[in-house]
Amino acid sequence: MTTAPFSSDISRWRRAALRGTLSLELGPFRATLGCDRPSWAALVPHLEALYPTMAASDTPRIGDQNLTVRAPNILRRYLRPQVVGLPGFDLPLVPLPQRLAPLAFEMAWNAAVALDCYRFLILHAAVVRIGDQAVIIAADTGGGKSTLAAALMEAGAILLSDEFALIDAASGNVHPFPRAISLKNESIALFAATRRHYVDTPKGTLGYMPPSRESLSVQATPARIGRLVVPHFGVGKSAQNIPIDPEKAAIRLLRGSPNYHALGEAGFTALMRLVTSAPMHELHYGSTEDGVALVHEVCQ
């Protein structure tokens, strides 16, 4: 039942993935992964580059997610090869070209968390830790959540999550889930630490930035949420910080929650506690530096 860092024994993980019994642990989750040969070959450089220290194991164990990255059918394994990332339950999926197996993996894990995890209140948001408080960077379409999270990380913040704020309803704390930051198109060039690039994806060009060593070292440590920010990047905008009332903050957050509707009273209580204990700020800015400065300003 022992785990080892992913980069330590790739051939062992390969055998496990082909059997469908590779387990990967990150933050509060354990995902089981199964692959076919070509998909594994396309996926492994991504995992090696971005998650070298992720705890892996090849013995079958109960997991939170059951992921499969494989060709949609046997023909598509070799003939104009394609790949799908299955989240462990029925979900209509558009097959991707086989070279995008890493994307299929990332999307499958995201789908499995967003659509089948109920033991946390989940918000669609990036999360960083500045000092001892967590800052939730809520997603607003095109707002620039991931870019801001990456910039904050370069400025010394600890990345806790790029995609989901996993809030424990009992304690109100956020659990880290430090997956690689996915950056799109123009944002990629801003960060030298971006490791893997994928062109011509359904979302344009994608680049992934690995979580820092510090992020990974605190992945088991939940953090107290101190601030909520909603980034609004726009070329030519001047820096502006607009405080948002708690009740409006609640509505904004629940609109971006994939599971609030299913949590009943526990979800409501957790959300109310969040918006009354952590003030929300809408941040408008025209440059990433301004965005970082605004976040530091509201964290004072």
Partner 1 sequence: MSTGIDVLAILAGQQTMPTDPVRVKAVIDCAARAHLLASLFSHMRPHLGGKALDVAQNASIKAEADARMLAFEAERLQRIFHGTGMRIILLKGAAYVAAQHGFSVGRRVSDIDILVSENDLLAVEKALRGAGFIPHAHAQSVYDQNYYRNYMHELPPLVHKHRRTVIDVHHRLTPRTSRISVDTAAMVAASQPTAGGALYTLAPIDQFLHAALHGLYDNSFDTPLRTSFDLFSLWSVLSAADKADVFCRAAAIGLEVQAHGALDLLCRLGLVDRKSVPARKSVAGALAYARIQSGIGAVLAHGVFSVREHWLRMPMRLLIPHLARKLGLWLREKVQAGRQSHQ
Nearest approach, Cβ of residue 99 and partner 1 (Å): 15
- For partner 1, give the closer residue by CB, 98 or 288: 98
* Distant-in-sequence, close-in-space partners of 73: CB < 8 Å, separation ≥ 6: none
Q: Torsions phi, psi of 296, nearest 5?
A: -60, -35
Nearest approach, Cβ of residue 119 and partner 1 (Å): 5
- Which amino acid appears at position 279 of this protein? P
Site string for partner 1, 5-44 (x = CB under 8 A): -----------------------x-x--------------
Which element (helix H / strand E) includes 159?
strand 158-161
The CA-to-CA distance between both ends of the chain, in Å, stands at 44
Number of residues that bind partner 1 (CB under 8 A): 22
Instruction: Please list every residue from 128 through 147 that binds partner 1, using CB under 8 A.
Output: none
Instruction: Please list every residue from 219 through 278 that binds partner 1, using CB under 8 A.
Output: 261-264, 266
Interaction of residue 95 with partner 1, rule CB under 8 A: yes
- β-pairing, 158-161 vs 164-167, is unpaired
* Distant-in-sequence, close-in-space partners of 216: CB < 8 Å, separation ≥ 6: 53, 178
Cα(219)–Cα(146) distance, rounded to whole angstroms?
18
Cα(103)–Cα(101) distance, rounded to whole angstroms?
5
Cα(213)–Cα(196) distance, rounded to whole angstroms?
18
Q: Torsions phi, psi of 52, nearest 5?
A: -60, -30
Site string for partner 1, 173-212 (x = CB under 8 A): ----------------------------------------
- For partner 1, give the closer residue by CB, 34 or 102: 34
Nearest approach, Cβ of residue 268 and partner 1 (Å): 12
Nearest approach, Cβ of residue 263 and partner 1 (Å): 7
Interaction of residue 63 with partner 1, rule CB under 8 A: yes
Cα(196)–Cα(50) distance, rounded to whole angstroms?
8
Lay out the sheet containing 204-209: strands in order across: 181-184, 204-209, 196-201
- For partner 1, give the closer residue by CB, 94 or 235: 94
Nearest approach, Cβ of residue 95 and partner 1 (Å): 7
Residue 144: helix, strand or coil by DSSP? coil
Interaction of residue 94 with partner 1, rule CB under 8 A: yes
Please select the residue that binds partner 1; options are 15, 119, 248, 255, rule is CB under 8 A. 119
Nearest approach, Cβ of residue 110 and partner 1 (Å): 17
- For partner 1, give the closer residue by CB, 119 or 255: 119
Site of interaction with partner 1 (CB under 8 A)? 1, 28, 30, 59-64, 66, 88, 94-95, 116-119, 261-264, 266
